[in-house]
Amino acid sequence: MDYQKILDEIYEETRPLLGQGRVADYIPALAHVDPKKYGIAIETLEGGCFHVGDAAVPFSIQSISKVFALSMVLKVLGEKLWTRVGREPSGGAFNSLVQLERENGIPRNPLINAGALVVTDCLSSITENPLHRLLEFVRKNSDNPQVNYDSLIANSERETGYRNAALVNFMKSFGNIENDVDAVLNIYFHQCALMMSCIDLAQAFLYFANGGRHPITQEQVISLSQCKRVNAVMQTCGFYDESGEFAFSVGLPGKSGVGGGIVAVIPKMLSICVWSPELNPKGNSLVGMKALELFTTKTGVSIF
C-alpha cells in the first residue's frame, strides 16, 4: 500500500478545513499555538515511516499522555488497578464531578481526567521519581532522547487547573487518592505538558499495534492481554464524549488531546498520528478527525 500517496491526498483534501475550529485557549499557554499547523505521520511494524506537513514539529500532547502513564501502572499493578478506576465510557464531560459523587469517588475510566489522576496517584506510589520515570519511558518508546516537558505549559495548567484540583481533592475525600494532592497534580500537569511530534507519537504507540511489544526496542512494554485491554479502553473512551463517533467514522483504537493531537493504531500493522491544533466543540482536533476517517476509508482497513 502506498501510504505516502494516501497521506499526501488526505493532507490536500483536508487543508480547506483549517480555520473552522478553535485552539484550546482555556489553557493560556496553548492559546498561542499557530492554528494552521498540520502534520500526519505513520510508523509501520516493518519499519516504514511516512509523513507530511508539520509532522516533525513538537506540540503539547495533553491527554495522550494518559495512555503512557496507564501502561506503566498497569504493568506493575495489573488487575488491582481496576479496583480504583472503571473501564466504562463516561458519557459526559472529561472533567465532570457529577459522576464521582454518584459513584463514590471511583472514576468511570482511566482516560477521563479523574481516572487519569488516579493513575497518576498510582504512578506516584510505585516509583520514587515518577516524572523522571515517565519521561524515560516516553523517550525510550519514541526513540527520541530530546522529548521533554514544557514548563511554561505545565505552569499555565497549574495556574488554571481548578477543576482538576477539585477532582483530586474530591477523590481524596473518598480515600481513592493515596498521595499528597499537590504532588499528584504537579505530576499530572507535567505529563500533559510533554512535547512530542507526530513522528514521536506514532513511534511511541507502536507497541499497541504489536501485542504490547515495541518492534524497535523488542521490549515487552505491557503484556499481550494488557495491550488488548488498553486498546479496548482507547476504542471506547479515548475521545472524551465523542468516542462513539470516532468508532463509527474511523474504527480504530486511539487517543486524542486538546493540544490537537490524535494517535490511533491498526493492530498488527501500524500507528498513525495527526496534529492540527484547532478543535471541534467536543475538544478533538477537527481536521484530525476527518483525516483519520479518510485514512481508513482510502486504505479500506479498520478493526471492524
Cα separations in angstroms, 85 against 112, 117, 124, 232: 10, 10, 16, 15
C-alpha to C-alpha distance for 6 and 179, rounded to whole angstroms: 47
| Residue 240 annotated to the active site | yes
Q: For residue 275, give Cα distances in angstroms to 1, 23, 41, 119, 132.
A: 23, 12, 9, 25, 26
| DSSP assignment letter at 241 | G
Catalytic site includes residue 188: yes
Q: Which of 33, 52, 63, 85 is the catalytic position?
A: 63
Please tell me which residue in 3, 11, 38, 188 is annotated as part of the active site. 188
254: β partners: 264
Exactly one of 73, 138, 230, 258 is catalytic; name it.
258
Report the alpha-carbon distance of residue 287 to residue 280 in Å, rounded: 9
Query: Under the phi-then-psi rule, with left for phi > 0, alpha for psi from -120 to 50, and beta for the rest, what region is 121?
Result: alpha
| Interatomic CA distance for residues 274 and 248, integer angstroms | 18
User: For this structure, is 250 an active site residue?
Assistant: no
Helix 130-142 and helix 181-192, axial crossing angle in degrees, nearest 10: 20
Q: Distance between CA atoms of 289 and 300, rounded to whole angstroms? A: 16
Choose, from 11, 66, 71, 255, the residue flagged as catalytic: 66
Q: Which of 72, 105, 106 is nearest to 86 (CA)?
A: 106
Dist CA 72 CA 74 (whole Å): 6
Q: Is the dihedral of CA 121, 126, 130, 135 positive or negative?
A: negative
Active site residue 149: no
- Return the closest-CA partner of residue 274 out of 2, 1, 71, 18: 18
Burial of 175 (0-12, 13-18, 19+ CB in 10 A): exposed
* Residues labelled as active-site residues: 63, 66, 188, 240, 258
